[in-house]
Amino acid sequence: MASFKITGDRRLKGEIVPQGAKNEALQIICAVLLTKEPVTIHNIPNIRDVNQLINLLGDLGVRRTRLSETSIRFEADDINLDYLESDSFRQKAAALRGSVMLLGPMLARFRKGRIPRPGGDKIGRRRLDTHFLGFEKLGATFSYDEEDGGFYRVDAANLKGTYMLLDEASVTGTANVLMAAVMAEGTTTIYNAACEPYLQQLCKMLNRMGAKISGIASNLLVVEGVTELRGTEHTMLPDMIEIGSFIGLAAMTQSEITIKDCQIPQLGIIPDVFQRLGIKMEFRGDDIFIPAQEHYRIENYLDGSTLSVADAPWPGFTPDLLSIILVTATQAQGTVLVHQKMFESRLFFVDKLIEMGAQIILCDPHRATVIGHNRETQLRGIRMTSPDIRAGVALLIAALSARGVSIIDNIEQIDRGYQNIDTRLNAIGAEIVRL
C-alpha cells in the first residue's frame, strides 16, 4: 500500500491541464467491442481504472496500438469469448466496477455475456438493477450463480427494440442498455435516460460508427437498430471532476491557478456552484483562471437561510464533486449544508477533516453541515486513509492547505481516478512525496 507525504501551507501557482474524463473513458473504451473495425481514441487518461479496463480488453483479444501518450487504436476483430469462463477474467473484472459496461457491447455483437459482481468504490449500495432490467426489456435473460464464482450470465439471442422507462437515470445503466440497443432489431425508446456529457459523447461516437440515435442531450433517447457498426475516431472531454477539484484546491490553498482547455460549455452548473461558495474565477477562452483569494464567502439564499448543495442527475450537480465542495467550505466564511442523496457512505471521511480541525456536523449518512473557519483557524496535518477516489482527493486538498505534514495511506484509490496527481501538483509548487 502506497502513501503520500504532504507538506502543507504552500501556495501554488501556474497552469494545469485536466486529464481526459474518467467516467467517459470507461464507456467509450467498452464500445470498441461493438465493431470489427479499428477505433482510435484520443485523450485517454493514464489512471488505474482505465488501464485495468484496457488490459482486460487485451485479454479478451482486442489488439491495442499506442499512437501517443494519450491515444490508442483498438481492433476487436478476433474476440476470445472462452476467456469469459476463466478465473483470470473473474478476478480482473470483479476488481473493476466499469467492467459491467462490457455487457452491453457483448450482448449487441455476440448475443451473450458473462460478468462477475463488479467492485469499485465503497461508497454505499450501488445496484445493477437498471442494467439488467433494461437488458430484460430488450429480450435478454440472465441468471446469477453464487456457486459459479458469483457470475451473472446473460443470454440475448433475440434482442428486440422496445419502450422502456429506466427505474433511475443511471449513467452506466443508460450507457450499457444503449450499447445493447444499437444492434437490437427494431426501435428502442429509452425514457428517464441519463444525459450527462459522457452519455452525449458516447451517443455521438456510436452515431459516427453507424448507429441511429436521436434525442441526444435529453432524457428520451430513440434508437433504431442496425446490423453492424464500423470503426471511428473519438476524442474524450476533459475530466469535469478534476476541473472542479482544481477549483477547490486553488481556493483552499490561496493559490493562483489557470486550468487549461476546460471545454467550459460542457461543465454545466459546476462553476456556478463553486462561485456560490464565494470563489472568484475568470473564463479566458476555454481556460478558467482562479486568482489567489485570502477569503471567500458562502452565499445565503435570498431569504437569508443557509445554502444547501445537493447532487442530482444532470444537468444537476454531479455527486462526484460533493466531497470537494465539503472540504473547500471548511475555510470559507459562512455555513453550507452538503446533501449527498445518491450514496449513503460517501460522507464518512469527514471524521478525518474534523480531526484536522474542521467544523463539520455529520447530521446523518447523507448530510453534513460545514461551518467555515474563514482562515481564522488553520487545519493541521494528520495521518489518514483514502476510502475512495473523491474523498481521497478531498483529503489531499485539506492536507495541502494544512499546517504541518500529513500522510495519506491507500493512495491507490486516488490513482484510480487522478493521473499522476502528485507530479502534476508538484510542478506548480506543491510538496507531495510518494512513499
Beginning with the edge strand found earlier in the chain, give each strand of the sheet holding 307-310 in spatial order: 307-310, 335-339, 367-371, 359-364
Instruction: Note if 121 is an active site residue.
Output: yes
**What is the extent of the structural domain holding 412?**
3-19+238-434
Bridging pattern class, strands 39-42 and 232-235: parallel
pLDDT tens, residue by residue, 209-262: 999 999 999 999 999 999 999 999 999 999 999 999 999 999 999 999 999 999
Provide the number of structural domains found in the chain.
2
**Nearest partner of 224 among 205, 208, 201, 207, judged by Cα:** 207
Which residues are annotated as part of the binding site? 22-23, 97, 320, 342
pLDDT at 116: 82
What is the pLDDT confidence band of residue 32, given thresholds at 50, 70 and 90? Answer: very high
Kindly state whether residues 41 and 153 are assigned to the same domain.
yes
Q: Which amino acid is at 105?
A: P
Tell me, what DSSP letter sits at residue 420?
T
Kindly state whether residues 347 and 429 are assigned to the same domain.
yes
What CATH number does residue 315 fall under? 3.65.10.10
Phi, psi (deg, nearest 5) at residue 260: -90, 150
pLDDT at 123: 34
Kindly state whether residues 423 and 396 are assigned to the same domain.
yes
pLDDT at 428: 98
pLDDT tens, residue by residue, 60-90: 999 999 999 999 999 999 999 999 989 899 8
Give yes or no for residue 142 having a pLDDT over 90: no
pLDDT cut 90: percent of the chain above it: 86
pLDDT tens, residue by residue, 177-195: 999 999 999 999 999 999 9
What pTM value is reported for the model? 0.93
Pairwise CA distance, residues 120 & 229, whole Å = 30
Give yes or no for residue 128 having a pLDDT over 90: no
Higher pLDDT: 95 or 8? It is 8
Kindly state whether residues 213 and 252 are assigned to the same domain.
no
Tell me which of 49, 121, 239, 388 is the catalytic residue. 121
Kindly state whether residues 407 and 420 are assigned to the same domain.
yes
Kindly state whether residues 252 and 103 are assigned to the same domain.
no
Kindly state whether residues 275 and 205 are assigned to the same domain.
no
Which residues are annotated as part of the binding site for phosphoenolpyruvate? 22-23
Kindly state whether residues 125 and 187 are assigned to the same domain.
yes
